[in-house]
Chain A
Amino acid sequence: MVSANTDLTYNSKIEGDVIVSRADAVINWIRSSSMWPMPMGLACCAIELMAVAASRFDIARFGAEVMRFSPKQSDVMIVSGTVTYKMSSAVRRIYDQMAEPKWVIAMGACASTGGMYRSYAVLQGVDRILPVDVYVSGCPPRPEALLDALVKLQEKVKREPSASKLLSA
């Protein structure tokens, strides 16, 4: 007999106010669906970063709802642009002020490797001072490339053993 129940989603009248799931799945779902970026805009990549936040590309569709200029309120630092040695300690200090858990996207050639600036003044890749999760190629990258980086980062976050990390902390 085919069931008369046509509900496709959770029905609290039948199942009560209880959902069974894995802690990792819930925590990672929450984390990856609301990653607020810390826009570390240091050069021309920041223009593309602004485009990503604006209406045409609209990073809010992917849960990176709003750029937070306070490190306390942000989850993922998007280093977009050339990091000079003089700026590098400021970048690191802002990263240190972000609350855990936190992630880093190195956007563009300069942030990833120093790019074309093989110079006495430019940090040769922001991974020399920060733990980078996703690198984005391009000079500057297309906005779609940054959206893809965010999706890749969300996939990475969804694989993290968050519950055991929280319990062991």
Chain B
Amino acid sequence: MSAALDAVRALKARWPGATDRATLDHPAVNVPASDLLAVLRSLKEEHGFDVLEDVSGVDWGVGSSPRFTVVYHVLSTTGHDYVRVAADCADAGAPEVPSAAALWPGADWHEREAYDMYGIRFTGHPDLRRILMWDGYPHFPLRKDFPLSGVPTELPDAEVVAETKTGAIAAPMAGGPFVASPGGINMTEAEPRAKDESWTERHPKPGT
């Protein structure tokens, strides 16, 4: 019996809200956001899962309930096994989970990234700023209601904007996204090409 399965069994016995999560690899468990920090602390301090590998977010789509889920992967360097912990955010409008940065300092930047991309607030985080997009960027780019090409936005530096009179634009997609799938063609000719080649920047999309 692996350390991870033992740990998940112990977690489910101690927190009745914890349930099995569908998984194809490592043992996984869903926990309520209110129990999240206690579960992670127990994994770290009682079950030896000493490394936080990743914190990531999931957007299940506009109108889904729950809309946002936060997923943690923890690794035991002594048991050589992973456990996946997922917590749903109750409020789709202002998603919020407690921060794990006090348990693992490495959670700091992972949580900043999840905040930057999904707008999930980690309460108790020491420095919850954007990490990839610039401060003041008004959108959360990995949300399902955000278009792949982006939306027109002011650039952060007012002096540069005044000089160049430019800003972030919606990128021209020209039939993209671009794929390198060979399909029926010769692999040596399999350059990345647009999925929908019926239109380009010069010829508008049919039916629009």
Contact = CB atoms under 8 A, between A and B. Distances in A.
Contact of B168 (A92, A96, A120): A120
If over half of B's interface residues share one DSSP class (helix, strand or loop), that class is named, otherwise mixed; here it is: loop
A119 B148 contact: yes
Interface stretch (B15-23, B67-75, B87-95, B154-162): B154-162
A120 B150 contact: yes
B134 A120 contact: no
Interface stretch (A52-60, A72-80, A82-90): A82-90
Nearest to B174: A118
Interface in A108-135: 114, 116-122, 124, 128-129
A122 B155 CA distance: 12
B124 interface: no
Given A88-B155, A116-B178, A120-B148, A129 B166 contact: yes
Nearest to B156: A89
A165 interface: no
Nearest to A87: B134
A128 B166 contact: yes
A119 B117 CA distance: 14
A138 B7 CA distance: 52
B163 A119 contact: no
Contact of B157 (A89, A119, A124, A128): A89
Interface string B131-159: 01110000101000011111101011100
B160 A88 contact: yes
A85 B171 contact: no
Nearest to A92: B160
B138 to A, nearest CB: 12
Contact of B176 (A118, A120, A121): A118
10 contacts: A85-B155, A88-B155, A89-B160, A118-B176, A119-B149, A119-B171, A120-B147, A120-B148, A128-B166, A129-B166
Interface of A: 85-86, 88-89, 92-93, 96, 114, 116-122, 124, 128-129
3 shortest interchain CB distances as A-B pairs? A120-B150, A89-B157, A118-B171
Interface of B: 132-134, 139, 141, 146-151, 153, 155-157, 160, 163-164, 166, 168-169, 171-174, 176-178, 192
